[in-house]
Every structure is written in structure tokens, then in C-alpha cells.
Chains A and B, each alone.
Chain A
Amino acid sequence: MDLLDIRNLTIEMDGPHGRVRVLDKVSLQLKEGEVHSLVGESGSGKSLLAKAVIGVLNPLWDVTADRLWWNGKDLLAMTPKQRRAITGRDMAMIFQDPLAYLDPNSTVAEQITEAIPAGDVTGTFMHRRIDRKTRVAQLLHRVGIRDHDAIMQSYPYELSEGVAQKVSIAIAIAHRPKLLIADEPTTAMEPSTKDQIQRLLGKLAVSQNMSVLLITQDVASILPATQRVSLLYCGQMMEHGDTETILNRPAHPYTDAMIKMSLQAHAELDPKSKLPSLPGAVPTLRHMPIGCRLGPRCPYAQKQCVKAPLVRHREEQSYYCHFPLNEPES
């Protein structure tokens, strides 16, 4: 059974100009221990998807889904309290700007201690105290912080960005979650820190047998350990499947464009030649195209594209397109 099973998740909100569908029938499956990358430009709804799973969406928004299952249990049918219990026990999330996501007025030790489940430490008061302290030090070691004594007493404003992200990972893995959602964890970081954090996440996924849902903006910064990739555009799922297959033989024009963009950024360009990119810009929420939302920007679009394409499968990948690329020659 899949750990996380999302079928046709739709999120609608009432904006100043009427009802907007910010997430349009998105499906996603995540197996236990799987590292899954969710790629999409800003505004594509990838963070919304994560929030819907964690259960921290604005209660005024409409969330409907054929299925939003966690380990076979329907998350949407639960009371907020049951939902919180599951979130607190099995899920964890880290964010893009770690310094802003740590409480500025508690020390690192206090914040990690809070995340350690109460059942983990037993005995008398003093025992529990010492136990917690060792647990905090262990967690810091596990995320690659050697100097645990100094870091434990620090406040977030005293930490560098990389260390702060490691601390928030330590907080996230303190209760041994089954799923870690990483919302653009390395977007604004310098390359060496970025590399460290990415390696750490890959290592933790294996050693803790933890699924990771990594949310990124471009194909280039998906984790090396990623097994499956999904691409979102304007709240619609474009393509998902096995990393190898998707990167080598993308079926969807959007995937193709994303890969080309990230490759070309490093390749040499002829003078005055244009950077490869899709024409046009991401539509605003007010002016969402009907049918396939990539339609107006897609070089292969035809009349049919005003109808939303159904999912199609090809070996290890699924895509939502009427005119797929790289069709195998039969």
C-alpha cells in the first residue's frame, strides 16, 4: 500500500475576482522510504499540496479529493484533533528560510526537546532531563553538527543559514517521522551548503527509512537520491514517474522545456542567441486558461488542448498531454 495516496486533489479559494481553482485534480502516490521530488515554478501550487497533506491550509479554502489517504486512512474524514495527532507523529516539514522558521526566543536545545515525543524519555525527573539532553545531542550529531554543546545553547539569530537548516532537520526527525516534506530547503543557499543539506537529506532517507517529498523549483536541484519526480504547472499535474525515464525521455512538453532550461543554463550559448524557454509567462490566477493550462505557452498545442487531457501511461511514467513527445517507435 502507498504511504500517501492522493487522487484528484482540488483546492479552490474565493479571491477578489471570484472562485479560483489553485490546485486542479492533482494525483500523487508516495511509497514508504521513497524519495520523491515535486518540481514546479512559483505559483504552481506545490507548497499548497504539501500544506494540504500536513493539514495547515486556510480553513476557508475548499479542499476536495477522491482520495487523500495516509497509510490507508482518509485524512479528509478526520477531526482536526486526529489529523494533528497523525501530523505530529508521522510527518514533518522543513522550509526554505530556516532562520525565520525557528522560534527566535527559544534556544536550539529547547526547540529540539519540544519535538522529542514524551514517550521516548522515562524515569524520574532528573533522568528525563539527562535523557532529553543526550537525545538532543544525538540528533544534532545525526544531522552533522559536531559542536553540539555550543549550538544547543544558541538562539536562532546566532546561527548561520546552513546550520539553522540542519537544526530544523534535527527538529523534523526528532520523532522519527515516516514522511519528511522539504519545501525548497536549499533554494536560497550557497552551493556548498546546498550540497551538504542535499546529501544529508538523501542519507537520512536511507538511514531512517523515511520517505522524503522534496519540493523544488527546477529540475537541476532535485536530490541525487530521488527515485520519482512529479511536475506541476499552474496547479495541474503535468507528468510524473521514474526519475531516469522522465529526465531521459520526457513525454510532456513542459517537462522537456524544464529539462532544456536547466541544461542550457550551463551550456555555452552562441552570442545573442536566446535562452531556451517557453514563450509567454505564467498566467495569473485571474486568467487561468481552460483545459490544459500550459496550452497558450505550449509549442505543440492544438485545438484539442482546450480540453483537459486525461492521464496516460507509458511504462514507468504517467503524463497529461494530448501530444506527447518521445513516443517509442512501434
Chain B
Amino acid sequence: MTRYLMTRLFYFFLALLVLSVVTFALNWLFPGDPLTNMSGIREGQTAYEAALTSRSFDSTIIQQYLNYLEHIVRLDWGLSLSTGTGVWQDAATYLVVSAELLLLSFLVAVVVGMPLGMLAANYFRHNIDKFILTSAMTGYSIPVFWLAQLLILLFAVQIEWLPITGQINPLYAIDSVTGSVIIDILLSDSQYKLAALQDATLHLILPVLTLSSLPSMLLLRITRNQTIEVLQKPYVKAARARGLSQQRLLFRHALPNVLQDVLPQMTFIFGLMMANLVIVEHIFNWPGAGAWLLKAIIERDYPIIQMVLFTLMALILVLNLLVEVYRGWRFPMTREERYGGY
């Protein structure tokens, strides 16, 4: 296990390093002058020459990269070009807002996708399976931005069950402390906590539904295929020959073996969700990192773009690491397959 852990950690840091090189290179890849991109100081301004030396533009590129790395480690991402405040200070709330949306959607995707996938596999080629698979294909083929608008039209405009956009009705006057509405409400001393919580939940439904639709359908299909495969494995047959019930077969013998191969796919699905996050947050006017990134791109606020890109990608890497470590611990066979030992 130690060797496995060390290898995984090594690859994790290697990937982070590559990622930092890419974000560092962005400074030069963005159109325009690199110094202007980073600091907002234009050529010809009096501070330009001083900034050139203070940002060590006169030293080698390696030295500059090392400086950059040092700043990353200190979480110093510079100042936003549009607001002039520290990027990292702003980022905290934006990231928590997005994390709330992402985690809830991911949870919904797992809770909806995996059981339905197993159900479909259990009724392989029966009508239940066909129905689930057809619905999954339909859900899978609808583009997220269009689905969001359809849902708004139906639930918010036509039958008026749910609010159109936003996190919560501003009349509840909940101060944004952490960024996550639900935690904020629980922390606040408002006398309408329960009503506020209900309102926030109603606001959450549409974005979560939109964001979780694609991942849950993907997860459904992966789980279904994997379960069908596992159910045909000899050890499941042997368990069946022991007179075990179908439920016990599915949950005790098939599920762990299905998870073994579905888990790595979850990272991939999480990455997909990050991409859709930007769209969903923009449509539902959600004050998260995705919408912030989009705004930064439009305003050419390069430090923010760099930070959000790096953080989102690093998040995927962290998740990947966690999944790999859990998988290696719970399913020792995977370690064996990969490294031929511990």
C-alpha cells in the first residue's frame, strides 16, 4: 500500500506541476503584453519600467517560473484587474458557492444514476431496462444550456412552482459569510430561518437538476454496463448456486465489483460537471466560480482566469487522487494489476 500511495502522490504532484506550467505559460499566450496581462500596467505608463524589474522580467524564464510557483504556494494570485482586490480573497466565497452546487449535483447524480443503472442491469433486456435506457439516452442527448431554459420555461414561467434565478430571495437578508447559502442560513440569527431554508432549497432545485442531468445519465449507463458484465462473472454464478437471493447477489457481490470500475469514471464525470458549471451558473445567475470565470474572460481579467482554471483543475486532480487511494485500499486487486505488488 505504501508503494502504491507514494506512486499516486508522485503522479499527483507531477500533474500539479504541469498544470502550473500551463497557467504560467498563459501569461504569454494571452494576447497582448505579458506584463500588462499580469498587472494591468500599460506600456508607456511611468510605473512600467519599475514593474518590469520588480516582477523580475529581466531574469531568466526559469527564475520567473520559480517566483510564480512561490506565489502559488503562498496563494498569492495577484490583484484583480477590474476590482483591484486580491484574487484569492474574492475567490473563497465564489468557490464555496460553486462547491455547494457541484457537490449537491454530484450527490443527486450518484443517487439517481447508480441505483437506476443497477435496476436496469437487473432487468437486462426487459421492458424496465429498455425504458430506463431510452430515457437515459434522451436525457444524455439534451444540451445543458437548452435543458436549463426548458426547465425554467416549464417550472418557473408556466407553472410557477420554482423561482427563475438566484440563490435566495434577497428579502430574507441573509449575509453571505461562507458563500454556501444553506450554511449561511444555518449560521445566521434570522427569525425566518425555516422559511429562508425552504426558499433556498427551491432556488437550488433547477440548477442542481440541470447540472446533474448529464452526469447522472452517464453514470447510469456506465453502472448498467458494468453491472451486466459483473453479473455474468463466474463468482456471481457461484454465489447464485449457493442459493443467495437476487438482492444479496446485487448488493453484496456485484456492487463492490461494479464500484471498482465505476469509481475512476466518477472523476471524469466530475470534470464534465465543471465544464457545465460555467453554463449553469451563468444561466441561473448563480454567484459562483463558473460565472465569475465567465465574467473574467469577458473583462479580460487574466489573474482571475488563471486562478479559477488552476483551482478547478487542481480540484479534479485532488478528487482523482482521493478516488485512486480509496480504490487501492478497498480493492487490493487493482494495486496488484497496476504494479504487480504492494
Residues of A participating in the B interface, judged by any CB pair closer than 8 Å: 51, 54, 56, 81, 84-89, 91-93, 95, 97, 100-106, 114-115, 155, 157, 168, 171
Contacts and interface: CB of A to CB of B under 8 A. Distances in A.
Contacts of B245: 81, 84
Given A88-B243, A88-B244, A91-B243, A101 B238 contact: yes
A87 B235 contact: no
Nearest to A96: B234
Given A101-B237, A102-B235, A92 B242 contact: yes
Given A84-B244, A88-B243, A157-B336, A105 B257 contact: yes
B257 A104 contact: yes
6 contacts: A97-B234, A101-B238, A104-B235, A104-B257, A105-B260, A106-B256
A95 B234 contact: yes
Q: Which 10 A-B pairs have the closest CB atoms?
A: A88-B243, A87-B243, A101-B238, A100-B234, A84-B243, A93-B241, A103-B235, A101-B234, A105-B256, A54-B241
B241 A103 contact: no
B332 interface: yes
Contacts of B240: 56
Contacts of A168: 238
A295 to B, nearest CB: 34
Given A56-B240, A93-B241, A100-B234, 11 more contacts: A84-B245, A86-B243, A88-B242, A92-B241, A93-B242, A101-B234, A101-B235, A102-B235, A104-B257, A105-B256, A155-B333
Nearest to B334: A105
Nearest to A157: B333
Interface in B119-139: none
B145 interface: no
Interface string B219-239: 000000000000001110111
Contacts of B260: 105
A126 B257 CA distance: 29
B327 to A, nearest CB: 11
B214 to A, nearest CB: 29
Contacts of A93: 238, 241-242
A87 B242 contact: yes
A124 B33 CA distance: 75
B242 A155 contact: no
Interface in B316-333: 330-333
Contacts of B3: none
Contacts of B238: 93, 95, 101-102, 168
B252 A114 contact: yes
A90 to B, nearest CB: 9
Contacts of B237: 56, 101
A86 to B, nearest CB: 7
A254 to B, nearest CB: 29
Interface string B245-266: 1000000110011001000000
Contacts of A115: 242
Contact of A105 (B234, B239, B241, B333): B333
Nearest to B260: A105
B332 A155 contact: yes
Contacts of B239: 103
A157 B234 CA distance: 14
A232 B238 CA distance: 24
Contacts of B242: 87-88, 92-93, 115, 171
A56 B241 contact: yes
Nearest to B236: A103
Contacts of A81: 245
A28 to B, nearest CB: 18
